[in-house]
Homo-oligomer: A and B are copies of this chain.
Amino acid sequence: MTNTNITPIGVEELGRRAKEVSRLLAMAGSDQKNLALTKMAEELLAAEEEILAANKLDLQNAEQAGMSRAFMDRLALDRKRLQDMADGLLALQALPDPIGEEIKRWHAAEDIEIIQQRVPIGVVGIIYEARPNVTADAAGICLKTGNAVLLRGGSDAINSNLAVGAALRRGLAAADLPQDAVQIVADTSREEAARMMTLNRYIDVLIPRGGAGLIQAVLRQASVPVIETGAGNCHIYIESTARADWAKAILLNAKVQRPAVCNAVETMLIDEACAGNLLPDLAAALIAAGVEIRGCERTCQILQAAGVAVTPAEEADFATEYNDLIIACRVVQDYKQAVAHINQYNTRHSECIVTDDEQAAAYFRGMVDAAAVYVNTSTRFSDGFQYGFGAEIGISTQKLHARGPMGLLAMTSYKYLINGVGQVRP
């Protein structure tokens, strides 16, 4: 049931195997990849007993280690979660296969023909924490896009991940695809993670998925290219012409609906011109929803005068991604000050303005440095499924390669194919 007594294969050898099969995967047709997704889903469900037993072991270990309830909840699998994982794999089948697409074709110097063709990235390394569902989600997206994947989950979930991985690999074999398209890094030591992060020879990209600590550690250590994901210090800015009903609905949705996720709002900015009018009611609604308000000096004056509870904010509050039912609030002079505040403190994720003034909206759209800029709608839409991508491997907060919610296209690269009849460069 658990492989912990077997000496695991080192990540360098896993990488070598992944690179080798990645070339075959790149040539696999859509039908074969879709068949593999079916088989992977089937094997996942067929292995329910084995997977839940392995998961139970992880849960017991986590309990003994005194992990939090939230941690245990992320780690836990049950029939429903397995079914969700299987459904996620099956849903990928309906999406168009981006691989092989001719992006562009033209004739260039000496009349050579150049075709820019979409290809897989090659070998993707996912470094994640204690969510075993990532194992199936990431494996499915990588397979659909013709990439081999090395999955390095946390040590707390290793038994679950190995059991899920074994089922996925049986599914690949059943579809006549190489099992090494999906490999679990069984050695979850820090040393092995460090080796993985510098395995430029075999790994083409690393995608860390987890908390800020994990992501920063990968950025620091990796020489393999990294797509930075996740951290979301997002803002809602209520401009002086904002409709009060929109402001309230968007604020509550963005702060309260799911406070622990990266696209939730952490700071509200509000124009001085409308703060006296709107802030007491907005704050009361937040408090009614269980939110603590940490306000700047002006915010405190307004709310205290209105008899609404508020804690004074410190500078650090504006730089904090609470991931909790807390919001920082600052009164600003105008949209220029709001944008300056956002660009100083944000993590380039998702930002929202509520306004009826097109000039303010245009300035905000152009000047705010973020993957997604929302005018009169909630930052909670920053999500691959909400965007209609049908899949999501993460939300990029860097500007290279992919930005914002990443669907299948983010898992592709391109190559130039040049056809000639003996031409040489003059």
Total contacting residues, chain A, CB less than 8 A: 70
Cβ A399 vs Cβ B122 within 8 A: yes
Q: Report how far A401 CA is from B204 CA in the complex, Å.
A: 12
Q: Report how far A422 CA is from B252 CA in the complex, Å.
A: 12
Q: Indicate whether A71 reaches chain B with its CB closer than 8 angstroms.
A: no
Max chain B C-beta neighbours (<10 A), residue from A121, A223, A253, A371: A223
Cβ B424 vs Cβ A378 within 8 A: yes
Q: Report how far A370 CA is from B119 CA in the complex, Å.
A: 11
Q: Report how far A423 CA is from B372 CA in the complex, Å.
A: 15
In the complex with contacts A108-B388, A367-B27, A424-B377, A398-B204 CB distance below 8 A: yes
Q: Report how far A18 CA is from B179 CA in the complex, Å.
A: 48
Cβ B388 vs Cβ A418 within 8 A: no
Q: Report how far A220 CA is from B198 CA in the complex, Å.
A: 8
Q: Indicate whether A95 reaches chain B with its CB closer than 8 angstroms.
A: no
Contacts of A369 in B (CB 8 A): 23, 122
Binary interface encoding of chain A residues 360-400 relative to chain B, with 1 for a CB under 8 A from any of its CBs, else 0:
00000111011111111110110001111000000000111
Cβ A27 vs Cβ B219 within 8 A: no
A120's closest neighbor in chain B, by CB?
A: B399
Q: Report how far A287 CA is from B419 CA in the complex, Å.
A: 28
Max chain B C-beta neighbours (<10 A), residue from A112, A371, A418: A418
In the complex with contacts A27-B367, A200-B219, A388-B106, A249-B415 CB distance below 8 A: no
Cβ A400 vs Cβ B223 within 8 A: no
Q: Indicate whether A191 reaches chain B with its CB closer than 8 angstroms.
A: no
Q: Give residues 319-343 of A contacting B (CB, 8 Å).
A: 343
Cβ A381 vs Cβ B108 within 8 A: yes
Cβ B343 vs Cβ A23 within 8 A: yes
Q: Indicate whether A70 reaches chain B with its CB closer than 8 angstroms.
A: no
Cβ B377 vs Cβ A422 within 8 A: yes
Contacts of A227 in B (CB 8 A): 400
The contact of A372 among B246, B367, B405, B415, by CB within 8 Å, is B415
Contacts of A110 in B (CB 8 A): 377, 381
Contacts of A307 in B (CB 8 A): none
Query: Smallest Cβ distance from A160 to chain B, in angstroms?
Result: 30
Cβ B365 vs Cβ A417 within 8 A: yes
Q: Give residues 179-211 of A contacting B (CB, 8 Å).
A: 200, 204-205
Binary interface encoding of chain A residues 244-288 relative to chain B, with 1 for a CB under 8 A from any of its CBs, else 0:
011001101110010000000000000000000000000000000
Q: Indicate whether A225 reaches chain B with its CB closer than 8 angstroms.
A: yes
In the complex with contacts A114-B387, A386-B425, A373-B27 CB distance below 8 A: no
Contacts of A257 in B (CB 8 A): 424-425
Cβ A419 vs Cβ B378 within 8 A: no
Q: Indicate whether A241 reaches chain B with its CB closer than 8 angstroms.
A: no
Q: Indicate whether A79 reaches chain B with its CB closer than 8 angstroms.
A: no
Cβ A375 vs Cβ B416 within 8 A: no
A378's closest neighbor in chain B, by CB?
A: B424
Contacts of A114 in B (CB 8 A): 387
Query: Smallest Cβ distance from A409 to chain B, in angstroms?
Result: 10
Q: Report how far A373 CA is from B253 CA in the complex, Å.
A: 50
Q: Report how far A374 CA is from B220 CA in the complex, Å.
A: 37
The contact of A225 among B373, B398, B413, by CB within 8 Å, is B398
Cβ B121 vs Cβ A380 within 8 A: no
Query: Smallest Cβ distance from A242 to chain B, in angstroms?
Result: 10
Binary interface encoding of chain A residues 229-253 relative to chain B, with 1 for a CB under 8 A from any of its CBs, else 0:
0000000000000010110011011
New A-B contacts (4) at CB < 8 Å, excluding given A246-B422, A252-B424, A401-B401: A122-B369, A204-B399, A377-B424, A400-B401
- What are the 7 tightest A-B residue pairs by CB atom distance, in nearest-first order? A377-B420, A253-B424, A246-B422, A399-B413, A380-B425, A401-B401, A109-B386
A residues contacting B by CB (< 8 A) are 23, 26-27, 106, 108-110, 112, 114, 121-122, 200, 204-205, 219-220, 223, 225-228, 243, 245-246, 249-250, 252-254, 257, 343, 365-367, 369-378, 380-381, 385-388, 398-401, 403-405, 413-425
